[in-house]
Amino acid sequence: MRRHRQAKIVATVGPASSSPQTLRALFDAGVDVFRLNFSHGTQADHRERLQAIRAMEREVGRPIGVLLDLQGPKLRIGTFADGPITLSAGERFTLDLQRELPGSQRRVALPHPEIFAALRPGSELLIDDGRVRLRVVACDAQHADTEVLVGGTVSERKGVNVPDVLLPLSALTPKDLADLDFGLSLGVDWVAMSFVQQPQDVEQLREIVQGRAGIMAKLEKPLAIHHLDEIVERCDALMVARGDLGVELPAEAVPPIQRRIVRACRRAGKPVIVATQMLESMVSSPVPTRAEASDVATAIYDGADAVMLSAESASGRYPVEAVRMMDRIIRTAEDDPHHRQALDASHTPARAERGDAIGCATRRVAALLDVAAIAAFTSTGASALRMARERPRAPILGLTPNESTARRLPLAWGVHAVACGAVSDQADMAERACAIAREQGFAQVGQTVVVTAGMPFGTPGTTNLLRIAQVE
């Protein structure tokens, strides 16, 4: 089943989309990668959903990606003795470690010693997604006296954000480690790490995963943006997680940062997802707002590999309609001549490496000859990603003998993944590429296919061959 668009759709699976029938409807509507959000649901729930996705994959005969999204550390205040309180600007309010003592109008527990270890006078604390803002006046290892900058109602166990402070805690909690082990045992294709603060966080996850899944860094902390290029270098893909990023940064700062992240990923040839509240109104409405449609289209014009649905598909009333709408927005944006102009204008030069040279040459050849498809033979997926980095006009066939690679590639821009047997020589390679392009609906007899591969065959990192073939 060919998608008539280049950018991909990631959809979160939840109570509204867990049945095999709904999952199939979501796939038919356009989902390329399904996200399992381990912030919600039990491991048993996620096992059942993954099994249903794999059963559907066998039925449709096309690789489908599954993304495990780890919860990450959740920082929350304690309880209140008499229910919610209301804070006013200018008031003093204290946070401390006395978790056994219910909160009052003057104080509440914050049972996270790592926060107090990092706070300094002048640091800000954001409660309930930034609805209430506090500034630290004085602090030590046990408590923080604050002044209320922005008041509001505070109820128990609300989340706390600490912007621009490097917290001395691991991005992997005990729950994350248990969920990670569980997900890897099931065979997930991607693992997303929440609340990445620095490149070392990504390295910690990579040491555990050991190549069993692709590593995705979720950028939702302003501190991570200071280390953007290093994080991009160390991970396999990124997600622009605009929810928490928008809490810790002014709203007007998020769009330029989103664009900066997308461009950094495009330079490096790493897939990037733009996520959070893309079609938020479709949680309860069958149509999005015009602003939401423009938001999705903007990500497409910037060249993002994928856009993501969260609550829209996980718990909303119109999950299938949300996917269909996203698919239409993407295709309409990509059909706009200005889309190609924007991609070409934002294209960055290839690196002086053999693989990048082949990718650059393939892009030029595909444009000059108006080829039907580009066939990239790849064992690890790297060759297909190099083609995707170039954002060519022709669709990319990622042909691989490895099932795990085939399941990771649906995240990448323009790549149609196909699991196929290994090739034996150049003649077999060209014949196989043309046959698959014809069978998959990308080329007809007489049309041209550009084929890339590495010699010797099956050796990772050896992309050094470009061949022009004609479909017979």
The active-site residue, picked from 47, 54, 74, 76, is: 76
C-alpha to C-alpha distance for 302 and 74, rounded to whole angstroms: 32
| Contact yes or no for 20/55 (Cβ under 8 A) | yes
The active-site residue, picked from 276, 378, 452, 463, is: 276
The active-site residue, picked from 8, 35, 386, 408, is: 35
35 is catalytic: yes
User: What dihedral angle (degrees, nearest 10) is formed by the CA atoms of 350, 237, 258, 7?
Assistant: 80
Pairing outcome for strands 124-127 and 160-161: antiparallel
Pairing outcome for strands 143-150 and 237-241: unpaired
DSSP for 380-444, please give it. SSHHHHHHHHT--SS-EEEEES-HHHHHHGGGSTTEEEEE-PPP-SHHHHHHHHHHHHHHTTS--
362 is catalytic: no
The conformational region for residue 150 under phi > 0 = left, psi -120 to 50 = alpha, else beta, is beta
| Contact yes or no for 93/80 (Cβ under 8 A) | no
Helical packing angle, 20-29 and 43-60, nearest 10°: 50
276 is catalytic: yes
C-alpha to C-alpha distance for 246 and 202, rounded to whole angstroms: 22
The active-site residue, picked from 133, 218, 389, 408, is: 218
Catalytically annotated residues? 35, 76, 218, 276
